[in-house]
């Protein structure tokens, strides 16, 4: 049985959710960088047990409360046949809460959907279509949900100006050794000031929506037989946001030829066929409800998200790796360089990128 962060008995945690688990089988689940997640096999069912990382989510009840609000809305849409994917919900504890607290740790128990799996990488354009369409359906189904009802789980999560300020503070407070290792990467980010100014202007024109904010393929469940997505999972960072963030993060995580942990930057290329499939399916998933400025913002989001994640990885490296799980000393620096190289490749192919995301007829219509 895998230990929790403080070696708390996981059957004890399960008992707080009303499950007798003397002979349960507990195994780690998924490859998330933030929380500790376990699949629990009980006598007659399976559930997911998760310990929230309070270094990241310093008000964890906001995470579980937001998830309840979103799940209730999606469940109503699903029952009304207005949402084709299956909602995920949290189990109540024996005292009717959506969490339990034990020895300072914050746990929740999640509904488990049988006969499904997660994937770590897109394999073809048909799969890319399904991924983008699913995330679009998720956001479209929440279009009539007041995003201001959701707590701001991580303030300024996708605020580029705030991320740049965090990086500046990290540079000022980090050790000379870490600064020396990262100096060329720090300099490159500083050179992107014009693009950063464009983002600051664009943000003021965009409508707020409920966004997922972590639109990677591994945050979808795929049915084992149909190989089609059946649920959007990991609602931890769902809050108010902009479509360009969700779309850009999806492209960022799906279109590189190497993983975000790879240091082999010379092997990186952008799969523009996948990017085109993602774009077409994402736009189609909104059934014509995208505003002109939102459609235009998608182009900026594609470049913004690898840049922003590169900044976040670099900041965490300079801060001593407090946010992302790492496997070695320069892991976050390698990740930062990886994402910034992707941003660079996308900028070099700006004309092709524009033609895919904003083809001439669409661009003329917006203009």
Q: Given phi > 0 = left and psi -120 to 50 = alpha, else beta, which region is 107?
A: beta
Sorted by sequence, the CB contacts under 8 Å of residue 207 that are 6+ apart come out as 242, 291, 294
Give per-residue pLDDT as tens, 61-114. 999 999 999 999 999 999 999 999 999 999 999 999 999 999 999 999 999 999
Q: pLDDT tens across 228-272, in order?
A: 999 999 999 999 999 999 999 999 999 999 999 999 999 999 999
The alpha carbon of residue 105 and the mean position of all alpha carbons in its chain are separated, in whole angstroms, by 23
Ranges 55-59, 152-156, 181-185, 218-222: which has the least confidence:
55-59
User: Class of 125-366 per CATH?
Assistant: alpha beta
Name, in order, each residue with C-beta under 8 angstroms of 312's C-beta and a sequence gap of 6 or more.
163, 323
- Residue 134 binned pLDDT confidence (cut-offs 50, 70, 90): very high
Quick check: 106 and 60 in contact, CB under 8 A?
Answer: yes
The Cα 168–Cα 166 span in angstroms is 5
Sheet holding 25-28, edge to edge: 25-28, 36-41, 46-51, 105-111, 100-102
Q: For the chain, give every domain's residue range.
A: 10-112, 125-366
Does the domain made of 10-112 have the CATH classification 3.30.200.20?
A: yes
| Cα separation, 219 vs 235, whole angstroms | 9
């Amino acid at each position: 049985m895998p230990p929790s962060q403080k070696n708390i008995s996981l059957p004890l945690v399960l008992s707080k959710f009303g499950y007798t688990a003397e002979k349960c089988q507990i195994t780690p689940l998924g490859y998330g960088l933030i929380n500790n997640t376990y699949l629990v096999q009980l006598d007659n069912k399976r559930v997911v047990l998760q310990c929230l990382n309070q270094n990241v989510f310093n008000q964890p009840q906001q995470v579980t409360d937001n998830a309840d609000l979103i799940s209730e809305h999606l469940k109503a849409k699903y029952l009304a046949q207005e949402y084709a994917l299956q909602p995920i919900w949290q189990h109540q504890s024996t005292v009717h809460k959506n969490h339990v607290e034990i020895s300072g740790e914050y746990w929740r128990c999640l509904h488990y959907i049988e006969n499904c799996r997660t994937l770590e990488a897109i394999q073809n354009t048909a799969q890319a279509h399904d991924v983008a369409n699913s995330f679009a359906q998720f956001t479209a189904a929440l279009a009539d949900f007041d995003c201001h009802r959701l707590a701001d789980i991580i303030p300024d999560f996708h605020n580029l100006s705030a991320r740049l300020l965090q990086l500046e503070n990290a540079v000022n407070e980090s050790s000379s050794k870490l600064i020396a290792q990262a100096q060329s990467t720090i300099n490159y980010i500083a050179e992107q000031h014009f693009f950063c100014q464009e983002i600051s202007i664009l943000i003021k024109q965009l409508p707020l929506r409920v966004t997922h904010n972590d639109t990677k393929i591994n945050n979808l469940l795929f049915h084992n037989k149909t190989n089609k997505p059946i649920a959007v999972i990991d609602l931890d960072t769902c809050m108010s946001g902009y479509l360009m963030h969700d779309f850009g993060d999806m492209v960022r995580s799906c279109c590189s030829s190497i993983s975000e942990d790879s240091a082999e930057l010379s092997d990186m290329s952008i799969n523009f066929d996948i990017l085109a499939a993602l774009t077409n399916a994402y736009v189609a998933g909104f059934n014509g409800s995208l505003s002109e400025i939102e459609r235009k913002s998608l182009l900026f989001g594609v470049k913004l998200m690898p840049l922003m994640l590169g900044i976040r990885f670099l900041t965490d490296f300079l801060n001593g790796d407090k946010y992302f799980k790492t496997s070695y000393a320069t892991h976050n620096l390698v990740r930062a360089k990886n994402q910034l190289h992707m941003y660079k490749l996308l900028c070099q192919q700006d004309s092709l990128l524009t033609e895919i995301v904003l083809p001439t007829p669409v661009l003329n219509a917006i203009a």
